Structure formats: structure tokens, C-alpha cells
Amino acid sequence: MIIRVFLLVGLLSVIPGCGSPASATNANAKQGNKKAEEPTVKIDEELRGLGVAYHAYHDGKRMGPSSAEDMLNFISSPEGKEKFTKSDAYKLLKSGEIVINPRLQFRSVKDLGKTYLFYEKKVPKEGGYVVLGTAEVVRIKPEAFANLEKGDEGRAPEPK
């Protein structure tokens, strides 16, 4: 358990404060950047950090978190909690701009690369950034999002 907590705290160190994916994309577009559709390195790291933190939570609880608070409560160190609450990832989760796939159990998933952990709220209608079960960050269209696996919402693990 201690190793998992250190792992999660260490993973949170890759979640820099940066701004929402949408605002960075808009900033790139305003600057006339041809690659406005690609996430910036900071955004990619922040979203990927959320995916890795989801995995750490799942390793400890045998199911994914259902909210930002679940992820926060899983961190035992005060420093780790403070760092997470100051991150844009946490703020985006709390605001609903980033949506979590709640209580996912990996054993119910056939292919983590075709399952989502998090997505921008606008993705089902407009497309946007998605964090796949492999912690890979991709930008997809609504049609592609509809084809991703959601997995089964988990139930409390059976006692051994």
C-alpha cells in the first residue's frame, strides 16, 4: 500500500499546472499555428498523468475512481494532496470539463487501448481529447468516441 501511495504521489509530479485543453488549442489557433489540433506537451503530460493516476487508484482499489474526490482521498500525504488540488487536472475534473469513466474494472475490458478513462465534456458532440485506458492522450471525433468501450461500472470487489 505504501508503494502505491508513493507511486501516485510521484505520478502527480507529472501533472503540471497548465490550463484546459480547449484553451491551449484555442491559443494555438489564434497564433496561426498549423498544429492547433494537437495537444501541447504540458496538456499531454497533465492528461497522461491523470490516466496513470487512474491506474494507481485501480491497482489499490481494484476499480477506477468515480470522482476527483476519490482520487484525492486515495493520496495519503498532505504534500501530494496539496499538489493534486492545485493542478489544473483536478480543477478540470471538479468543474466537469473533464469527465471520468467511473468505477471501471479493467478485468471487464477487452482492450484498454479502445476504452476511455477520461474525456473532455464536449467530445460526444464536438470531438476533443480523450485519455485511453493505456494512458495515451488522443484527439478524436464524436463518431470515434461512440465506438470506444466504456466498460462495466464496477461493484465493490468480492471479499476473499
Regarding predicted confidence, which is higher, 25 or 47? 47
Q: pTM for the complete prediction?
A: 0.70
For the residues 28-41, what does the mean pLDDT come to?
46
For every residue of 38-89, DSSP letters joined together read SPPHHHHHHHHHHHHHHHHHHHHHSS--SSHHHHHHH--SHHHHHHHHHSHH
pLDDT category at 14 given cuts 50, 70, 90 is: very low
CA distance between the termini of the chain: 18
How confident is the model at residue 107, as a pLDDT?
Answer: 82
Mean pLDDT of 80-106: 90
Least confident of 43-47, 89-93, 129-133, 154-158: 154-158
